[in-house]
């Protein structure tokens, strides 16, 4: 796989632009996954995927042959997702409601609960989880997503974010603390 990727990269650098299409086809699913985990928005995730592969193409000459293209484009996608989050932070702040209210201009999540008996609890958990994730800084969010959802090690997180391992560990710790503060009352009630 790695060798195949490298052969494709060499073809791209030799002028065969379409070879990059094969790389996109191979890695777009994993790139979309991490993009959506971080942005939690399909449109943003699609945008991140496109931007990541565009950046990857332009930086392809700098690609180290010893590296894995999947890991490399994954990191680029994470940085693109971080950019999206930072951009959103700097733009109009949309309040995230503690409770669902159709009258308020809040972020509302689709109902993906399995059955009507869990509808209320699932909606509550999802709303609070989403609210808690919204309180995380981009670095904390990426670190938590990589640690909790993508099961990456502290060293991998640190490498992807370009920070020290201890800083990555602290970012995960702060993210868990914030989530705990937001979600703990739910468990007390339940």
Partner 1 sequence: MKHFTEEEMIAHYYSEGFSKAEAERHLQACPQCAQAYADLSKLLRSVPASDLPLRDSGYGAQVWQSIQRSLQPYEPKQKRRFYWPRFAYAAACLLFLAGAFRAGRMWEQAHSKPLVAGAEQQTKQRVVLFVLDSHLDRSERLLVQLNHAGGEADDVGFRLQAEAQQLLSDNQLYRQSAAQANDPLLNAALDHLERVLVEVANSGSELTSRDIASIQKEMNTPGLLFQIRVLRARVSEPKTNAHAIPKGANT
Q: Which residues of this protein are in contact with partner 1, per CB under 8 A?
A: 12-18, 20-21, 24-29, 32-33, 36-37, 40, 42, 45, 49-50, 53-54, 57, 60-61, 112, 125-126, 129-130, 147-149, 153-154, 169, 172-173, 176-177, 179-180, 183-184, 186-187
In the complex with partner 1, the residue whose CB is nearer, 103 or 114, is 114
Cβ proximity to partner 1: between 61 and 90 the closer is 61
Quick check: helix, strand or coil at residue 139? helix
Q: How far is CA 75 from the centre of its chain?
A: 10
Alpha helical stretches, state H, 91-137: 119-135
CB of 157 to partner 1, least distance (A): 11
Judged by beta carbon, residue 26 or residue 135, the one nearer partner 1 is 26
Residues ≥6 apart with Cβ < 8 Å to 176: 144
Contact residues for 61 (Cβ-Cβ < 8 A; gap 6+): 13
CB of 187 to partner 1, least distance (A): 7
Give whichever of 90 and 187 is closer to partner 1, judged by the CB atom. Answer: 187
């Amino acid at each position: 796989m790695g060798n195949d990727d490298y052969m494709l990269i060499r073809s791209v650098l030799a002028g065969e632009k379409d070879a990059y299409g094969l790389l996109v086809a191979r890695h777009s699913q994993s790139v979309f996954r991490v993009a959506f985990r971080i942005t939690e928005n399909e449109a943003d995730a699609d945008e991140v995927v496109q931007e990541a592969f565009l950046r990857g193409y332009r930086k392809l000459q700098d690609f180290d042959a010893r590296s894995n293209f999947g890991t490399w484009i994954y990191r680029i996608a994470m940085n693109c997702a971080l950019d999206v989050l930072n951009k959103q932070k700097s733009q109009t702040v949309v309040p995230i409601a503690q409770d669902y209210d159709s009258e308020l201009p809040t972020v509302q999540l689709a109902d993906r609960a399995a059955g009507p008996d869990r509808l209320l609890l699932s909606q509550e958990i999802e709303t609070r989880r989403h609210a808690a994730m919204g309180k995380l800084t981009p670095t904390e969010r990426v670190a938590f997503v990589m640690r909790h959802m993508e099961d990456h090690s502290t060293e991998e997180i640190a490498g992807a974010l370009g920070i020290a391992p201890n800083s990555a560990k602290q970012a995960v710790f702060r993210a868990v603390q914030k989530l705990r503060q937001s979600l703990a009352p739910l468990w007390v009630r339940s």
